[in-house]
Structure formats: C-alpha cells, structure tokens
Amino acid sequence: MNLEIHASRVRLTDSIRLQVQRRIEFATGRFHDHIERVSVLLEDTNGPRGGDDKLCRIRVHLVGDRQPLIAETTQAEVSVSIDVAADNISRQIAKRLDRRTESRRHARPNLEVAMN
C-alpha cells in the first residue's frame, strides 16, 4: 500500500505524520491486500481565523476499482479530524468489499448436480 500525506496551511509535524500513518494502518490493516494506494490531505480551511476548520480527506484506491472511496471531515483539531475520517474510511472499505463478495456469490452458477 502506498500512502501519500499532503498538507495545506497545516504544519505537517513528525507527530502528525506519525498519527496519520498509525491511524491509516489501523483503519485499513485488515484490507491491506485490497488497497492500491491511500492519499491523505490535511487542510486548515479558515487559516488563522480558527473554528472547526481542520479538514482531513482520505482517498483510498482499491485494487480493481475505478472510483476511489473518499472520507472527509472537518473538526476543530487536526487529530480529531484524522481519527473521524479514518474510522469512516474503514467502514466504507468494509462495505465495498462486502458488496464485491456478495455480488460474486450471486453471480456463480448453481453447480449442484441433480441426482436421479
């Protein structure tokens, strides 16, 4: 899995980078084989004015999917924004992979042989 971390108007310290890496690994670890790449954007949308303006957008590209999954949240603190978005993306990945499994299960022909 390839992880990219980008920041806009947020100071990307080593501790924030480490938190992003740990939360992404925790949120996506069980899906590791299905993930092609993950990109994380951290942004201070209001600049120095403050408020609930710390955006975290996580984009996950699954192997074999054209459309990425995207989780985005805006919170007062960067760390909270990272946690909320990571939880959200984990649920989205699980749901997408469950749908894949379910559609494959229904697409298989019934292989039972009638016994006479």
Angle made by CA atoms 22, 101, 110, in degrees to the nearest 5: 165
Q: Are 64 and 4 in contact (CB under 8 A)?
A: no
Tell me the average pLDDT of the chain.
90
Q: What is the pLDDT of residues 50-104, one digit of tens each?
A: 667 899 999 999 999 999 999 999 999 999 999 999 999 999 999 999 998 887 7
Question: What are the residues whose beta carbons fall under 8 Å from the beta carbon of 116, sequence distance 6 or more?
Answer: none
Grouping H, G, I as helix, E, B as strand and the rest as coil, residue 10 is: coil
| pLDDT given for residue 48 in this prediction | 72
Residue type for position 110: N
Classify domain 2-106 at the CATH class level.
alpha beta
pTM of the shown model: 0.85
pLDDT > 70 in the chain, percent: 87
pLDDT at 114 over 80: no
